[in-house]
Amino acid sequence: MIRTPMIAMAAVLACATAVDAHPRLQSANPAPSGVVAVAPTAVRLHFSEALIGRFSSLRLRDPSGRPVPTGPSALDPRDHHTLAAAIPARLARGRYTVDWRVVSVDTHRVQGRYSFTISR
């Protein structure tokens, strides 16, 4: 008799954990709120879950909010938790914003934004 409620409770907790599992940004280069002296040549975002590349992207905006041309957003072929985009032109001083949208392999969609500053 006691086993049935315990099994039911365990099933509910397992489902709640699975439903709550969304990809979370774990690290980024340049780092959120970071200050760098050298302009980055790429933006790299690392997430807690593997991503679906064709549904995941990042965009870079300059200090005035205009889009900065980047290479296409792509998953690292050795690590599908990492999304990156090359920055072909040298960035000037100022505060830049990274907007990202990702879809994990379990189809959870998440988006976010952070800024970093180039000091020189």
In the chain, DSSP finds a helix count (H) and a strand count (E) of 1, 9
Q: How far is residue 119's CA from residue 106's CA, in Å, rounded to a whole number?
A: 39
CATH topology of domain 23-118: Immunoglobulin-like (2.60.40)
Q: How far is residue 57's CA from residue 112's CA, in Å, rounded to a whole number?
A: 11
Q: For the chain, what is the mean pLDDT? A: 89
For residue range 45-102, what is the model confidence (pLDDT) as tens digits? 999 999 999 999 999 999 999 999 999 999 999 999 999 999 999 999 999 999 999 9
Q: SS3 string of 65-109?
A: CCEECCCCCEEECCEEEEEEEECCCCCCCEEEEEEEEEEECCCCE
Residues above pLDDT 90, as percent of the chain = 81
